[in-house]
Amino acid sequence: MEEMKTSMSSETEKTIELKRFVARGIPAEEIVDFARNNEIDLIVMSTHGRTGLKHVLMGSTTEKVVRKAPCPVLSIRHPEHEFVMP
C-alpha cells in the first residue's frame, strides 16, 4: 500500500482515496461486503491467471468478486503469470 501511495503523483493523491481493511472470512464475500457497506467506487484486484483444472478446483476470488460486487472491478494479471510466446 505504501509503495502504491509513493508512486502516485501529488495530483492523483488529491483525487484518489485508498482504504486498507483486514478481515477474517471468505475473501470474496468479505471484499464484496466491504465494498457494499463503504460506498466503494472501484475494486482493484490481481489475478493468478489460472485456467483449466486448477481454476475449477481452486476457484477464483477475483471472479467471485466480479460477479457479486456492487461496483466496477479492475482485474490485473501479474506479469509473472502472463503467457509469452516462445
Domain span at 30 = 23-80
Residues whose CB falls within 8 Å of the CB of residue 20, separated by 6 or more in sequence, listed in order: 1
Q: Which of 64, 76, 77, 71 minimizes the C-alpha distance to 30?
A: 64
40 lies in some domain: yes
Distance CA 30, CA 39 (A): 14
Distance CA 76, CA 67 (A): 16
- Structure confidence by residue, pLDDT tens digits, 41-81: 999 988 776 666 665 555 688 889 999 999 999 988 766 65
The number of folded domains in the chain is 1
73 lies in some domain: yes
68 lies in some domain: yes
58 to each of 12, 33, 50, 52, 55, how far by Cα in Å?
36, 21, 9, 10, 5
Q: Is the pTM of this model over 0.85?
A: no
62 lies in some domain: yes
State the CATH number of the domain containing residue 62. 3.40.50.620
